[in-house]
Structure 1
Amino acid sequence: MAPVDGFVAALAANAGRGLRRWADEGADPQQCALIYVAHSLPESFIKRGDPYLSQTRATVSAVHERVRAALDATGHAAWLARLPGGPVPLLAFQSKVGPIKWLGPEITAETRRLAGAGCRRLLVQPVSFTCEHIETLHELDLELRREAEELGVREFDRGAALNLDETWLASLAARLAGDPFRAEAALD
C-alpha cells in the first residue's frame, strides 16, 4: 500500500522546517542528524506477515524524498547529503516492552550511536503517530531529550505529530469522502 499523500506531505513539511533552519544557519551537517521514529512491534508479527515494517519504510522513504526535494529547491541538497545517513533516511523505533525481540534499532541506541559520532543537533520526526500523546510528549520530549543532552547533543528538536495539520486532514477527508464505508479506502 502506498502512503497517504497528505500524511507524507505534512510529515515532510515538519521535518524539512528543522533541517532548513539548520542549513540556513550554516550548521555543520556532520554534527546534525534526522531520525524518523516509529512505534516498534515484536519481530514475530512481521515474520507472520504483518505489513507494518514495509509500510513504515515506504512512508519514511516517501517523506525523506520530499524533504530532499524541498531542501534541493532551497539550494541545500549538498548539505542534506552530508548528514549522517546522507540520502538514506535513518529509521529507529520506540516503545519496546518486555523480553521478546522487537523491531530496531531502538531510538535511544540510535541516539547514542549518533552522539558518539559527533552529533550535536538532533531532529526526531515521529512517523507512526497522527497526534501527540504520551509516546511523543513523554518518551521523546522528556526521556529521549534528557538522554540526548547527557550524551552531548546541544539542540534536540522533535517534529510535531500531525494533530490538526490542514494538509493531513484535507487528504484524509478527501479519501474518506471517496468511499467512507470501505476501511481500505483510508489505508491504501
Structure 2
Amino acid sequence: NPDQVHIFFSAHGVPQSYVDEAGDPYQKEIEDCTRLIMKTLNRPNEYTLAYQSRVGPVEWLKPYTEDALQELGEKKVKDLLVVPISFVSEHIETLQEIDIEYREIAEEAGIKNFQRVPALNTHPIFIDSLASLVTESLKGPPCNFSEVIHPKENMKMYPQERWEWGMTTAAEVWNGRLAMLGFFALLLELISGHGPLHFVGLL
C-alpha cells in the first residue's frame, strides 16, 4: 500500500553550534522545505527528517539518520522511501552512505523494503529553475550581505574552534597549532645552534 510507505528525508548535517551560535538558517530552511514538499504531495504518508554524514566528536543536528532508522525499525516500519533532500546530485553520500551503509542499518533494524528517490542531477526542470534564478538575479539590483542574511550580534563565524576540554575538534586544532610551533622552534634551534635543548645538553 503506497499510503503506508514511510517517507524518510535525509539531509546533510552540520554541527549544532553552527545553528545555535553562528545563526546558520540551514536547519530551519531544511525543515520548511520538508514541510512544503509534504504539503505539495498532499499524501497521508508519515514522514521523518534526519541528518546524516556526521564526523568528529562534536554534536551535530539531530536526529542522526542511523538512529532514526533504528527507531523506525523498532516501530515496525517495513517500507521506507528515502529522499536525499539536501543533495542535488549523486555522489558518495547518496551512492555509498545512503544506498549501502544506511540500507544495511535499515535492514538490520527490520525494514524490509528500502528505496531511494534519485537526486535531481541534470533533470530539465531543476536546471531550468536554476537558470531562472540566475537570470532573475542578474536583472535585479545588487544585494548587500545584510539584506541576504541577518546574523546575530557577536556572531561567531567558526564556533567549532571555541575551547572545550576533552577529545574535541577544538583540542585537535590547538594540538596541531602547538605541534607546528614546536616544529618551527626546533628547526630554528638546529639552524642557529642556540636554544633550550642546547642549554640542557640534549643537542
The question of a shared fold, defined as TM-score above 0.5 by the shorter chain, is answered with: yes
SS for the counterpart of 2:115 is: strand
Higher RCO by CA contacts (8 Å cutoff, separation 6 or greater): 1
Mapping of residues 93-104 of structure 1, within 5 Å: 93-104=51-62
Alpha-carbon separation, structure 2, partners of 1:66 and 1:183: 30
* 1:178 Cα deviation from its structure 2 partner: 1.6
What is residue 134 of structure 1 aligned with on the other side?
Answer: 92
* 1:134 Cα deviation from its structure 2 partner: 0.4
Identify the match of residue 57 of structure 1 among 9, 31, 40: 31
Identify the match of residue 134 of structure 2 among 172, 176, 180: 176
* 1:64 Cα deviation from its structure 2 partner: 1.2
Once the two structures are superposed, residues 153-177 of structure 1 have per-residue CA deviations (whole angstroms, 9 ceiling, x without a partner) of: 1110011111011211111111111
* Higher alpha-carbon Rg: 2
SS for the counterpart of 1:179 is: helix
* 1:183 Cα deviation from its structure 2 partner: 8.3
* 1:37 Cα deviation from its structure 2 partner: 0.9
SS for the counterpart of 1:100 is: coil
Once the two structures are superposed, residues 84-127 of structure 1 have per-residue CA deviations (whole angstroms, 9 ceiling, x without a partner) of: xx4xx421000000110100101111110011111111111011
Q: Point out where structure 1 has 5 or more consecutive residues left out of the alignment.
A: 1-21, 72-79
Once the two structures are superposed, residues 26-70 of structure 1 have per-residue CA deviations (whole angstroms, 9 ceiling, x without a partner) of: x7x2xx3111110000010001201111111111111111122xx
Q: Which amino acid aligns with 1:51?
A: P
Q: Which amino acid aligns with 2:81?
A: L
Aligned-residue RMSD, C-alpha: 2.2
Identity of aligned residues (%): 33
Mapping of residues 1-188 of structure 1, within 5 Å: 22-23=1-2, 29=4, 32-47=5-20, 48-68=22-42, 71=43, 80=44, 83=45, 86=46, 89-180=47-138
Q: Point out where structure 2 has 5 or more consecutive residues left out of the alignment.
A: 150-203
Alpha-carbon separation, structure 2, partners of 1:62 and 1:164: 22
What is residue 14 of structure 1 aligned with on the other side?
Answer: none
Q: Which amino acid aligns with 1:105?
A: P
Alpha-carbon separation, structure 2, partners of 1:153 and 1:52: 29
Runs of 4+ in 1 over 4 A off after TM superposition: 181-184
Q: Which amino acid aligns with 2:12?
A: H
Alpha-carbon separation, structure 2, partners of 1:175 and 1:159: 24
Alpha-carbon separation, structure 2, partners of 1:160 and 1:152: 23
Classify 1:134/1:180 alpha carbon distance in 2 versus 1 (closer, same or farther; 3 Å).
farther
* 1:144 Cα deviation from its structure 2 partner: 0.5
SS for the counterpart of 2:100 is: helix
Instruction: Tell me the number of residue pairs that the alignment of Structure 1 and Structure 2 aligns.
Output: 143
